[in-house]
A and B are shown apart, each in its own frame.
Chain A
Amino acid sequence: MTDFAALSFEDRRLDSLRRRIGWLCQALRFALVAYCLWVLFTIVRFWSDEALIVPRFASLKVDVEGMSHYQRLGAFGVSFVIWAFLVAACYAGWRLFSGYLEGSIFTPDAAGWLRSLALMGLIAALVDIAARPLMSLILTAHKGAGAHMISVYFRPEDLSTLMLLATLLALAHIQKTAADIADEHAQIV
């Protein structure tokens, strides 16, 4: 960045853009917080209730009946790690939309937060996919030799999530270049 003030909302086009996306940014900021809390609530509720876990895994042809509290705690730990990546992604989203509201739109900072959002989201999605066999292994650890299950599955939603996040990552790189151009443009008085 240079000494030049970044494009501010003194520019009428940016002012109009802020009016158009202001409410959306506010709504998304609160949605990000609500999403994190909601996911945490569903994780805690799911792993604390054996009656929910057994049928869910049975539908994946994994028999987890008779698992111990420690196994559930271990699986909860894996879910919690995924949730932590999700929180990191949501934090990046919060900073991104807060920046937009403050007028920091075509800036390297905004591009950086968009990149973090996409990267953290991608990591969360990939870890989630990779953790599925690990979870089934943890939950069937009490079974005898030969009865340990490794459940590997891939849902169509996984692909759409990964594609969406990869698109965001590409947009972040595009925005970084746009921010550099805007910065250079701001150096013409």
Chain B
Amino acid sequence: MPIIVNLDVMLAKRKMRSRDLAAQIGIAEQNVSLLKSGKVKGVRFDTLEKICDILQCQPGDILEYRPDGKTTP
């Protein structure tokens, strides 16, 4: 899928664990793990808003569009 989730990168930058993020957002840790690995069909705006608020970042820092076959520059 060309949409890449960089949540793990942001978590590492903010030195935050998935468990803490899940607790603060109010979703299951399992779902945060699935989101990190990109195994989700979508992200709700309110979830995205909470993630951006907690990690102090923009949606673009978490989601990236990378056409199939291309690598990060």
A interface residue numbers (CB < 8 A to B): 2-5, 184, 187-189
B31 interfacial contact with A, CB 8 Å: yes
A188 touches B30 (CB 8 A): no
B28 touches A188 (CB 8 A): no
How extensive is the interface on chain B, given as a class? 10 to 19
B30 touches A5 (CB 8 A): yes
Number of A-B contacts (CB under 8 A): 29
Query: Chain B 33-57 against A: per-residue CB contact (8 Å), 1 yes, 0 no?
Result: 0110001111110010000000000
Chain A positions within 8 Å of B27 at CB level: 189
A187 touches B30 (CB 8 A): no
Separation of A188 and B43 alpha carbons in the complex (Å): 5
A184 touches B41 (CB 8 A): yes
B70 to chain A: closest CB distance in Å? 25
A188 touches B34 (CB 8 A): no
Chain B positions within 8 Å of A187 at CB level: 34, 39-42
Separation of A184 and B40 alpha carbons in the complex (Å): 9
Separation of A53 and B28 alpha carbons in the complex (Å): 63
With contacts A3-B30, A5-B28, A5-B30 taken as known, whether A188 is within 8 angstroms of B39 at the C-beta atoms is: no
Chain B positions within 8 Å of A3 at CB level: 30, 34, 39
By beta carbon, the residue of chain B nearest A183 is: B41
B3 to chain A: closest CB distance in Å? 13
Separation of A184 and B32 alpha carbons in the complex (Å): 17
